[in-house]
Chains A and B, each alone.
Chain A
Amino acid sequence: MGWELYVLKAVAVLLIFGGVLSVVPFLVFFERKISAFIQDRVGPNRVGLAGPDSLLEAFGFRKGTRRVLGGWLQPLADVIKLFTKEALIPAHADRPLYLLAPLFAVLPPLLAFVVIPVGQDIVVSSGVLVKLQVADLHVGILFVLAVASLSAYGLAFGGWASNSKFPLLGGVRAMAQMVSYEVGMVLVILALVMSYDSVSLRDMVSRQAAGGTLLGIWDCDGDWIWGWGLFHQPLAFVLFAICALAENNRLPFDLPECESELVGGYHTEYSSMGFGMFFQGEYIAMMAMGGLLATMFLGGWHYPGYAWLNASDSLLVHLLAALIGLAVFGVKMLGFVFFAMWVRWTLPRFRWDQLMRVGWKGIIPLALANLVLTAALNLPAPAPAHEKPDRNLTAVTRDR
């Protein structure tokens, strides 16, 4: 007994790692397709197999070129193209940092998935329990915060080491932007830690699945979606979504890499997979932020009917419930990615002073207020006859 747990964990790790990496090229494809849809274009539709182009054609409703999966093999073609490009190092680049920067761009968001639970526990037999999570670390969300902030180094190194003017500007902007929004994001997360009374992302999901009093205002049962953090920390939800876009350098916060003035910013001088890593890092970061958002606000893998399905004794139903949970988590996570793409192709870019104003005058004060409010609302009722009750505090904690 014992080694099976390690084998099962290895399988889970490989599945999560492989899953994250294999979704990325398709996200690029979807971004191109979605942008095309928003701008009333067709988008990539060439690279594919021979056969009907769409369902409409497959069933004979529309005539067209015989092409199966038109465009769906575009990600594959992109990967092959990036791998076969010359990996050049600019003449005056700072070589060690130049080569290190893509690592720092791709690894931090990838490592964020270590603590994000992608599904419920599967009890294979008594005592053998598979957690659909790379590692249930005690530090939970702190691990994400510690690791994810390293990605600022990737952008800063990339911008500085290229020894070129546009990347330098992009790198400096990226640093200032990411540190500005990180403070707000951590403050938002602290309020959630208070609400859930735990730093473990697993505990957060189970608290949302169980329902109960999360904010001290109203009780809810976990059967339906009312236990989700979204309904208990609405302000935190909005702030976190904004910070997530800013941390990922996505529009309307994409000043570090705005194509029209900085030619791509910090990765201007990168070619081949060096550029590919920056690109991959951006999409993995979007997924990681989506995963965090889903875990902390949208109930993670929880879905209505989850308790009912898991009440069954059958292992098959149990596995089915876990599978549905996995799919639900994927939909929530990719839902945020879709939201980010939607925003990108809808909103114009901020000006730099507006960006800083939103960060320091908007997000940080609001997040601080949210933190204090959460603490005030969640404080346990004062012990009777301990001391004279404070008027304001009793007003907000009266319900408890």
Chain B
Amino acid sequence: MAMRGLTMGGALDFTPEVFGAVLYIVLAVAMAVAVLGLVQIATRCFGKRLGIDATKRGKYEPYECGVPLLGSARERYAIRFYLVALFFVLFDIEVVFLLPYAVAYKTLGREGFFEVLAFVAVLAVGLLYILKRRALEWD
């Protein structure tokens, strides 16, 4: 019965569930690519006949509230955005470490709980430090 079309070391049979997921993902990607491709191709093919004039450069300029373009859009932006991204990496790793605990916390019992408590406490101190250094203040 099982078409073993999608196997990963024999662990993953091509069950109806996997089939459903693959079918859904293929459908979704195909729909999005088809729609976006269609409008692009239609614009390329029929644009001229429908009166689209590619020589009118103004239309293809970036939006600038109607005034002539001033400077590059590759602007520098606040360093705090970079800090936020760094904090995200730190805290997301924390979450990744907590995930196995969340799944197995009942078997780990109280010892596991206190160990995780220590882990969370270290990170809480880190968060406090971030806040204390005003790294997340935007002023």
Q: Chain A interface (Cβ within 8 Å of chain B)? A: 1-2, 5-6, 8-10, 12-14, 16-17, 21, 83, 85-92, 99, 102-103, 106-107, 110-111, 113-114, 131, 133-137, 142, 162-169, 172, 175-176, 179-180, 182-183, 186-187, 190-191, 193-194, 197, 199, 263, 268-269, 272-274, 276-277, 352-353, 356-357, 360-361, 364-365, 368, 371-372, 375-376, 378-380, 382, 390, 393
What 1/0 mask marks residues of chain B from 38 to 76 whose CB sits below 8 Å from any chain A CB?
111011000100101000010111111100000001110
Cα distance A199–B105 in the bound complex, in angstroms: 13
Q: If A86-B43, A168-B73, A168-B75 touch, does A356 touch B84 (CB 8 Å cutoff)?
A: yes
Which residue from A172, A273, A364 sits with its C-beta under 8 Å from B91? A364
Is B62 in contact with A269, judged by CB distance below 8 angstroms?
Answer: yes
Cα distance A262–B125 in the bound complex, in angstroms: 36
Given A110-B32, A114-B24, 8 other A-B contacts at CB below 8 A?
Answer: A87-B40, A92-B62, A187-B98, A277-B36, A357-B136, A376-B113, A380-B106, A380-B109
Cα distance A83–B110 in the bound complex, in angstroms: 59
Q: If A183-B95, A376-B113 touch, does A134 touch B20 (CB 8 Å cutoff)?
A: yes
Whether, in the assembled complex, B10 has its beta carbon less than 8 Å from a beta carbon of chain A, the answer is no
**How many residues of chain B get a CB closer than 8 Å to chain A's CBs?**
69
Is B127 in contact with A364, judged by CB distance below 8 angstroms?
Answer: yes
3 tightest CB-CB pairs across the interface, nearest first? A164-B62, A135-B21, A2-B1
Residues of B within 8 A of A190 (CB): 95, 98-99, 102
Which residue from B28, B39, B57 sits with its C-beta under 8 Å from A107? B28
Residues of A within 8 A of B127 (CB): 360, 364-365
Is B131 in contact with A135, judged by CB distance below 8 angstroms?
Answer: no
Cα distance A249–B121 in the bound complex, in angstroms: 31
A-B contact count (CB 8 A): 205
Which residue from B63, B77, B130 sits with its C-beta under 8 Å from A263? B63
Which residue from A83, A172, A365 sits with its C-beta under 8 Å from B81? A172
Q: Is the interface of B mostly helix, strand, loop or mixed?
A: helix
Is A135 in contact with B85, judged by CB distance below 8 angstroms?
Answer: no
Nearest residue (CB) in A for B60 is A91
Which residue from A85, A162, A191, A361 sits with its C-beta under 8 Å from B39? A85
- Closest chain-B Cβ to A180's Cβ sits at a distance in Å of 6
Cα distance A380–B111 in the bound complex, in angstroms: 12
Q: If A86-B43, A273-B39 touch, does A9 touch B20 (CB 8 Å cutoff)?
A: yes
Is B25 in contact with A365, judged by CB distance below 8 angstroms?
Answer: no
Which residue from A135, A163, A176, A183 sits with its C-beta under 8 Å from B73? A163
- Closest chain-B Cβ to A48's Cβ sits at a distance in Å of 26
Residues of B within 8 A of A191 (CB): 102
